[in-house]
Every structure is written in C-alpha cells, then in structure tokens.
C-alpha cells in the first residue's frame, strides 16, 4: 500500500523548499519551523536530529553511483526485490570498507526521480537512520547522492533483510502461515523499536508510517522498522504536538492526525493498533475486494468485540485454531486502547510493550481450557464459509491432533462442547 500526500496548507510550500542538502544538515530546520509553540519552552533544549546527525554522519558510507550500479549488476531487474511509493529496492553486494573479506549483501533503494519530495524524504531517511541505533530498526549502511549531467540520483544502502516484510507473511499466500507465537514476538519487538523512537532518544522521533510492509524480518524473523522518509521530530518540551502537512498511508494513519494535521507519538500508537488487528485477522487494513461492510478492517472488527462470543470469528483462519484465545482477546483489547478516538487516551508505546509481554506470557502458559469451545465453533463456521481452506486432509489432521490434545482435558466439560469437537473431527 502506497503512501499518500495530502498537503493541507499550501502556504507551507516555501518552507519545504528550504529543505537542505544533506551536507547542510544544520540548516535543516523545517521541523523546528513547523513546531507549534504553545507555552514557554524549557531552558534545556535537546539537540535536533540534524545536529545529532552531524555527530554520527561519519558512521555512514558514501557510495559512488558506479559502485552501486556494479553492486546490483546495473540495477538488474532480476535483483529487484521490491517496489514502494518512492522507488525500487534491489538486492546487491558491496565490498567491505577495507576491501578485504567476503562481500556484504545489502538492499539498495533507488529513489524515483520525482524531484523535491523524493529528495526531502531521502534526506530525512539518511538523517534519522544515521542517528538512531536499535536492534529493531533497520541499519542504514550508507547512501549515494549525485547531481550529474544525467540527472539527480538518490540511493540508500541498508542491511539486507532476507525474510521480506510482515505484510508479505501475513497476506501473501505464497508464504507459509506465520505462527501465532511468531506474530506476538514480532509485534513485541516492533513495539520496542517504536518505544525507543518515542521515549528513549534525546529528541523524540515520530515514525509516521507504521504499517506491516515497513516491518522487515531478518533471518530469524526478528523485526526491524524500515522507511524513515516520513519520520519527524516530536514536539519540544511544553508543546503538545507538531503541526504538519498530512502524510502517511491510508488505512493506518490516525483520524485525528488526518483531520487536524496535529502530529504526536500517539499517531504511531494508532497505526500500531491497526497492525495488531492485521495479525489477529490476517486481513489488510483496507481490502477493496471484500463485501462493503468488510472492506475497512477497523469497521469490520467492531462487530466482533473482544469480550463477545463471536470474537473468534475474526481470527485468521490460517492459524487453524493454533493460538491462545485468551491471549487473542487481550491483544484485541490492547488494540482497542491504541485505537481510542482521543489520542491522549491511547497508551504510550512503553505501556504497550509491557502489555504485550504479559500477553505473551498468557499465551505461553496457554492452558488448554484457554482455547475454548468457541474456537471449535468458529472452526465449524469457517468450514462452512471456506471449505477449500479447511478441507485439505493434511490441515484437518493437524487440527485433529490439536483437538485430540484438547480432548484429554475435557473431563469437566459439557457434553455439548464435546459434541462440537466431534463435528469438527468430521469436517
């Protein structure tokens, strides 16, 4: 899903034009200019991202265009691994800094030549990723910027993430189902990445584009947030928000931000809530090919509250009931708090992290009674709805093995419950 650009305030255009070249880092003061001044600022003002960048810029490698052309076999389309709103991503290999040893596999993003906007995002990405350092944020190795006779070229070189994105694993049927525990671990670590940006840096960073396609997965399925082109510095002390043009991705951006252009870290919290529902349901935030009432994920799930019996009906059928229902309900409740209408009522990301840790514990403990009979009822409903998904004998066998395990604990369970299990057995 691509980003959208909706410039509410055209008078800002001139300000944005003042976005500098990377080497003029200190002049990059767009975010400062746009901050809302509500009350007197505190005496100790934290350094801005460009200032912090000045300090750390030497950690980034500066590549020539020909080096990156060589690294990607002239941007060979066979090496293209993805395409986003801002350009194409290629797999490539570069020499180590000292020229010795094995080549390093990297991902190289080549920005489309769409002028100022692309350049601004490229600057933001280099500056933010040049400053931040966290196991759940993708590492920027270096960049390339050339303004030659043959036009402007802007490229970014990242550590290579071999397991694509969370989006690919949730929605692309070519990938095997992402297990429940892996989903939980991914959202926990993604939340830790956001917590670092919001709460653990000298200057607060608002990511502004949290979505499943920006959660990349390494060889062990450890998640790392990518794409910092839309990131912004948060409000300075005494201010409640940053006023900006509204940018982000449909289906993930917080409604209060879309309506007012007032950006806070709670806008990221909203987007995080959307992704929580994506991992629960296996559905994208917007799916145009569904019946009208099901197209918008958040509208659809509202009909199945976390506490209700029918909640199980929204669970991703690909999980084949291999999840803790208790944990799933708690996760949905957490998502609901992230999606509260009033931004200030949403939890901070560090609180979300704490809740997720507890949910993972509940899920690990996962007593068999936890996977209640509603789950089994749901199975019957799903079987009715999508026989092709549940009809495969292999998956039926696996489900049966699970149900058999459950039945070892049915001692005190009502006969009705047991009958439902039996029905599940024959579908």
Ligand X SMILES: Nc1ncnc2c1ncn2[C@@H]1O[C@H](COP(=O)(O)OP(=O)(O)OP(=O)(O)O)[C@@H](O)[C@H]1O
Assess 227 for contact with Mg ion (CB under 5 A): yes
- Number of Cβ atoms within 10 Å of the Cβ of 152: 15
Q: Which stretch binds ligand X (CB under 6 A): 116-124, 157-165, 362-370, 394-402?
A: 157-165
When the beta carbons of 165 and 192 are compared against ligand X, the nearer one is: 165
> Is the separation of the CB atoms in 317 and 386 below 8 Å?
yes
Structure-token match 């068999």, residue found? 368
The 34-73 site mask, x for binding ligand X (CB under 6 A), equals: ----------------------------------------
Q: Which of 85, 305, 366, 368 binds ligand X (CB under 6 A)?
A: 85
- Which partner from the list Mg ion, ligand X, none does 107 bind, CB cut-off 5 to 8 Å by kind? ligand X
Identify the active-site residue in 74, 98, 147, 209. Answer: 209
Residue span 192-221 as binding mask against Mg ion, x where in contact by CB under 5 A, dash where not: ----------------------x-------
158 binds, among ligand X, Mg ion, none (CB under 5 to 8 A by kind): ligand X
Least distance between ligand X and beta carbon 16 (Å): 19
Q: Answer for the pair 390, 383: CB distance below 8 angstroms, yes or no.
A: yes
For residue 45, which phi and psi values (nearest 5 degrees)? -100, 125
Q: In terms of CB distance, is 38 or 175 closer to ligand X? A: 175
When CB distances are held under 5 to 8 angstroms depending on the partner's kind, the choice from ligand X, Mg ion, none that residue 363 binds is none
Residue selected from 161, 166, 170, 186 as contacting ligand X according to rule CB under 6 A: 161
Report the C-alpha gap between 326 and 306 in whole angstroms. Answer: 10
Q: What's the min distance (Å) between Cβ of 214 and Mg ion?
A: 4
* Alpha-carbon span 395 to 399, nearest angstrom: 6
- Of 114 and 365, nearer to ligand X (C-beta) is 114
For Mg ion, the closer of residues 156 and 314 by Cβ is: 156
Question: Residues 84, 223, 234, 417: which binds Mg ion (CB under 5 A)?
Answer: 84
Closer residue to ligand X in complex, CB, 53/252: 252
Beta strands 61-62 and 140-148 are: parallel
Q: Which residue among 48, 177, 214, 324 contacts ligand X (CB under 6 A)?
A: 214
Structure tokens, 144: 């390339």
220 part of the active site: no
Map residues 104-143 to x or -, x wherever contact with ligand X holds by CB under 6 A.
---x-x----------------------------x-----
- Say if strands 151-159 and 205-206 run parallel, antiparallel, or are unpaired: unpaired
Instruction: Single out the residue of 171, 174, 142, 173 nearest to residue 156, CA to CA.
Output: 142
On whether 302 is known to bind a ligand per the annotation, the reply is no
Other Cβ atoms less than 10 A from the Cβ of 70: the count is 14
Report d(CA 116, CA 410) in Å as an integer.
Answer: 65
Report the nearest approach of ligand X to the CB of residue 52 (Å).
Answer: 22
HSE (CB half, 13 Å, CA atoms) of 119? 18
317-330: b (≥16 Cβ within 10 Å) or e? bebbbebbbbbbbb
Type and span of the H or E element at 373: helix 373-385
Q: Which listed range, 94-102, 212-220, 255-263, 333-341, lies at the site for ligand X (CB under 6 A)?
A: 212-220
Instruction: Answer yes or no: are the C-beta atoms of 95 and 185 closer than 8 Å.
Output: no
Contact assessment for residue 338 and residue 272, using Cβ atoms and an 8 Å cutoff: yes
- For tokens 């996962």, the residue is 366
Residue 212 binds to ligand X (criterion: CB under 6 A) = no
Calpha distance 406→416 (Å, rounded): 15
User: Which helix (H) or strand (E) element contains residue 362?
Assistant: helix 349-365
Annotated binding site for ATP: 110
Please identify every residue annotated as catalytic.
209
Binding site residues, Mg ion, CB under 5 A: 84, 214, 227
Residues that bind ligand X (CB under 6 A): 2-3, 81-86, 89, 107, 109, 138, 158, 160-161, 164-165, 213-214, 216, 226-227, 249
């Amino acid at each position: 899903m691509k980003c959208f650009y909706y410039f509410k305030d055209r008078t800002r255009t001139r300000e944005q034009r003042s976005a500098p070249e990377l080497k003029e880092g200190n002049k990059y003061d767009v975010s400062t200019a746009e901050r809302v001044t509500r009350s007197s600022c505190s005496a100790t003002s934290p350094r801005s991202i460009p200032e912090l960048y000045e300090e750390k810029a030497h950690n980034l490698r500066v590549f020539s265009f020909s080096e990156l052309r060589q690294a990607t076999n002239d941007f060979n389309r066979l090496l293209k691994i993805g395409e986003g709103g801002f350009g194409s991503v290629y797999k490539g290999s570069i020499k180590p800094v000292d020229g010795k040893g094995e080549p390093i596999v990297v991902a190289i993003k080549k920005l489309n030549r769409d002028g100022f906007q692309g350049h601004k995002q490229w600057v933001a990405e280099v500056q933010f990723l040049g400053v931040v350092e966290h196991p759940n944020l993708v590492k920027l190795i270096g960049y390339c910027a050339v303004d030659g006779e043959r036009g402007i070229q802007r490229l970014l070189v990242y550590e290579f993430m071999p397991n694509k994105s969370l989006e690919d694993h949730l929605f692309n049927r070519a990938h095997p189902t992402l297990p429940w525990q892996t989903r939980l671990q991914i959202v926990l670590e993604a939340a830790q990445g956001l917590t670092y940006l919001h709460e653990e840096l000298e200057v607060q960073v608002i990511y502004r584009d949290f979505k499943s396609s920006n959660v990349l997965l390494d060889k062990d399925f450890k998640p790392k947030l990518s794409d910092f082109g839309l990131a912004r510095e948060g409000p300075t002390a005494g201010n409640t928000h940053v006023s900006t043009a509204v940018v982000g991705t449909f289906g993930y951006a917080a409604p209060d931000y879309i309506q007012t252009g007032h950006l806070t870290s709670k806008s990221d919290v909203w987007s995080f809530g959307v992704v929580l529902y994506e991992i629960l349901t296996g559905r994208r935030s917007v799916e145009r090919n569904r019946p009208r009432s099901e197209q918008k994920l958040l509208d659809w799930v509202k009909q199945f509250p976390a506490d209700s019996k029918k909640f199980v009906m929204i669970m991703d059928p690909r999980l084949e009931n291999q999840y803790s229902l208790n944990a799933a309900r708690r996760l949905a409740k957490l998502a609901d708090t992230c999606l509260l209408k009033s931004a200030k009522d949403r939890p901070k990301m560090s609180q979300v992290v704490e809740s997720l840790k507890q949910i993972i514990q509940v899920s690990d403990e996962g007593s068999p009674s936890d996977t209640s009979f509603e789950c089994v009822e749901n199975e019957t409903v799903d079987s009715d709805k999508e026989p092709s998904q549940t009809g495969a004998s292999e998956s039926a066998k696996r489900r049966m093995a699970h149900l058999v395990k459950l039945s070892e604990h049915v001692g005190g369970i009502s006969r009705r419950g047991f009958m439902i299990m039996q029905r599940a057995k024959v579908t």
